[in-house]
Amino acid sequence: MVIQMAKHDPSLDRLFHALSDPTRRGIVERLLAGPASVSDLAAPTGMALPSVMKHLAVLEDSGLVTTEKAGRTRLCRLRPEPLDHARNWIDEQRRIWEARLDRLDDYVTRLMEERAHGTRPQD
């Protein structure tokens, strides 16, 4: 059996980076309600269009958003799958952490039993 070291995953870099900005999380939350144009997304932010376009580029790069041009407007849609990727990473860390706590607990329990019986731990 081969133990796999979790490779550093550039897609996680881009995903967490995309989520680290409140404007971008706001866009994600807006797109939960359904597709929207660039102007729709810009309106509540009060930002200039080109600024919002940069945020959209980051979101597209992370895979969270896809866009398509229809006439003179560009429609933006949420693609929630990458969120699962982030969630899986987080869950994995949690799982490893809990497993370690369990081992620690076992260890301490055994230590206390050994002491109670006057024996000593094997190094």
Count of chain residues binding DNA (CB under 7 A): 25
| Token reading at 10 | 């550039």
Is 87 in contact with 16 (CB distance < 8 Å)?
no
26 binds its own copies per the rule CB under 8 A? yes
Q: How far apart (Å, rounded) are the C-alpha atoms in residues 22 and 81?
A: 20
104 counts as binding DNA under rule CB under 7 A: no
Q: Is 47 one of the binding residues for its own copies (CB under 8 A)?
A: no
Contact pick of 96, 108, 111, 112 for its own copies (by CB under 8 A):
96
| 43: CB partners within 8 A, 6+ apart | none
Distance CA 92, CA 11 (A): 16
Using CB under 8 A, pick the residue from 1, 4, 10, 116 that binds its own copies.
10
Told to check if 39 binds DNA by CB under 7 A, we report yes
Instruction: Select from DNA, its own copies, none the partner in contact with residue 91, using the beta carbon and a kind-dependent cut-off of 5 to 8 Å.
Output: its own copies
